[in-house]
Structure 1
C-alpha cells in the first residue's frame, strides 16, 4: 500500500512538471480563434460624432450607430461615438475621436459639412466620412455620402394623397436647406402624382430638436383639415407623432421605420438607410477599398432608400401595389423625382 501511494505521488508530480496540471490541453489542442475573431492589433476602429439629435433620436443618428454596431458584430471592428448636445460640441468631439486614433471618423449630418472638410485638410493621414453632404472638391481622405431622399418622399406623398379623407395633408420640415428640400419637394411631387387635387400644408420649425414646436405645428395642421402629416425634422418629428396620437390622426415618419413610436398612427416612413451606408463603408475600409475623394450616392436603385416595411399595416394592398410600380419607374428613370423648388416646378 505504501509503495502504491509513492507511485501515485510521483505520477502527480510528473503531470504538474510537464503540463502544469494533467487536465491542461496540449498546445496543438488549444482553442483556436473563431473564424470571425480578429486579433486586437488588427481591428479597425471606427467612430462617429452625432448631430445634436443624439444617438437615440429615433432617426438618422440612431440609424448610423446601428450600422456601426452591425459592423462591430459582423466585421469585428471597434465602434464608438461622441454625442453632441449643441453645435459647439462638434469640433471638440472630432478632436477627441482623432486623439483616440480611430481609423475612420464619421460626421453625422450636413451641419458638420464645413468642419469635417477642415479637419480632413488639417489631418491628411486620417480618414473621414460625412452623412448628407457633398463637396465640390472632396479631399482624398474624405468621403461624402448622400441619399436621394426625394425618392421615398415621393412614394409616401403618393400614399398620403391616396389615403387622405379630407383632401389635405401636411409637411413639417426642420431647418430649410438642400437636404430637407429633397424631402419636401419629393413629397409634394408624390402628392401631385396621385392626381386627385390633394392640398399640402407646409411649415418649418427652424429646429431639429424642438419637439414641442413640432407638436404645435402638427396640431394646427390637423385643426386646419389635414389628416396625414409627414415630418422631416429629426426630434421635432417626435412632437408631430405625439400630436397624431392625441388627435387620432395619421403621421408619416422619416429616416427609420418610426411605426413603433405610434403603431396605430404612423402609417409609413420615408427611410434613408444610413445604417447600410455606414456598414458598407466599414466593409470597404476593411477590404482596402476606401473611396476617398468621392461622393457616394444612395437611391432606390442602390437600396439606400425606401418606404418602411411596416407600411402594410395601414396602407391598403392596392395602393402598395401602385407604389411598387412607381418604384420601378423611378429606378428605370421613367420618373425623375424633383429635389428642390426649381425641379418641382418643372415636374408640375
Structure 2
C-alpha cells in the first residue's frame, strides 16, 4: 500500500459578492487566477508530452477531475506541449490506464485522486524516466519521480462552516461525503470547526448533521457518481431540519444541490466554483470551497518540461492562494458585516491565530 502522508495539508479564497448585471460588489480578495500575468511569450515545448488519468468520476464531473484536466489544457495552450488523456470508469482500470499513458510516450503523467495513489506509485517504480504528479495525495517517502499535489481544504471549509452557520435559519446544517477517505473528510472537519467557531462567537447552538469528527463517522454515499444517492442523502438531512447542505461527493454531490434547489434551502459546493461548473444550481449556492488544481497541475507539467521537476510535495493553502472561497452566490445575501468577519477569519488562519485541525 502507498503510504499517503497525512493530508493535513491541502489549496484559495475570494470572498465577496459575485459579479452580475445586478450591480453586485467586487470581491474583497481575489481567488487564484489562470490568466497570464505577462505579455511575454512563454517558452514552448512542442516535443514534450503531458498526460492525465482521471478517477472514475470522469473529466466532466464539474469537480476535481474537470479542474485538474483544465491544468493539462492550459499547459498545451501556454507551453505548446502535446497531450493525451484517459478516463477511468472504475478503480479496476487505474493500473491499465496509467500504463497506457506510459506506453504512449508521455513524459509526465498526472493522476487525479487519492484512490490512484497505489497505482501511481507502482507505475513510477517501473518507469523511472517518467515523471508523475498525483492530485489530492502525497507519500511519506515519495519516489524521486513522483510529486504530490495536495490542498489544505480544511482552511476554506472552516470559513464555509462559519458562513453556513451564520446563514442558517433553522439552526441545523448538513454535510455528507462520497467515501470516508482523508481527501473528503478534510472538508467535513474544517466545516464542522467553522460552525463551532460561529457558535462560540455568537453564543449560538447551530448543529451539524452528517459528520462527527470525534468518531470520524458520518453520512456517505459510498459513491462519487450517483446523483440520485446524493439527492436522497441531502433530502434526508433537509427533513431533519438542515437548511444549508455541504456535499463533498463529486458528481454525486450534484444531487445534494438538486435537493437544495427543490426544497428552497442553500448549499455550498466544493473543488470548483459551482456557479461556473454547475451554473444551473448557482441560485442556491452561498459559495464554493475551491482549490487551484488546474494551476498546480500546469506548474508540475512546466517543471517537468523544464527539467526542474522534484518530488517535493505541493501544498495549497489560504496563504499561497492554493485554496479558498469562491465569490458569494447571487442570492447568498451576505451583508458587509458577515463578509468582513469571513475575511478576518481568513487572515487569522493565515497568521496562525486560528488552527484548523485534521485527524
Q: TM-score range by the shorter chain?
A: 0.7 to 0.9
Is this contact kept in 1: 2:45–2:305, CA < 8 A? no
Choose from 56, 73, 76 the match for 2:80.
76
Q: 1:46 maps to what in 2?
A: 50
1:306 equivalent in alignment to 2:314:
no
What's the TM-score, normalizing by structure 1?
A: 0.84
CA RMSD of aligned residues (A): 1.6
Q: 1:30 maps to what in 2?
A: none
Alignment of 1:32-181 (within 5 A): 35-36=41-42, 38=44, 40=46, 43-181=47-185
2: distance between equivalents of 1:35 and 1:336? 41
Q: 1:28 maps to what in 2?
A: none
What's the TM-score, normalizing by structure 2?
A: 0.81
Unaligned runs of 5+ in 2: 1-39, 211-218
Q: Aligned pair in 2 of structure 1 residues 255, 211: CA closer, same or farther (>3 Å)?
A: same
Q: 1:192 maps to what in 2?
A: 196
- Give the greater-gyration-radius structure (CA): 1
1:244 equivalent in alignment to 2:260:
yes
Q: 1:204 maps to what in 2?
A: 220
2: distance between equivalents of 1:39 and 1:145? 22
Q: Which moved more, 1:139-148 or 1:274-283?
A: 274-283
1: distance between equivalents of 2:310 and 2:330? 37
Is this contact kept in 2: 1:36–1:76, CA < 8 A? no
1:261 equivalent in alignment to 2:292:
no
Alignment of 1:308-323 (within 5 A): 308-311=326-329, 313-314=331-332, 315-323=334-342
Q: Which 4+ stretches in 1 moved above 3 angstroms?
A: 34-40, 310-313
Residue deviations 1:266-297 (CA, integer Å, cap 9, x gap): 111111111111112123223322122x2211
Q: Which has the higher contact order (CA 8 A, sep 6+)?
A: 2
Q: How much has 1:219 moved relative to structure 2?
A: 0.7
Residue deviations 1:104-149 (CA, integer Å, cap 9, x gap): 0011000010110011011111111111112111100111111101
2: distance between equivalents of 1:113 and 1:273? 20
Unaligned runs of 5+ in 1: 1-33, 341-348
Q: How much has 1:309 moved relative to structure 2?
A: 2.4
3-state SS, counterpart of residue 284 of structure 1? helix
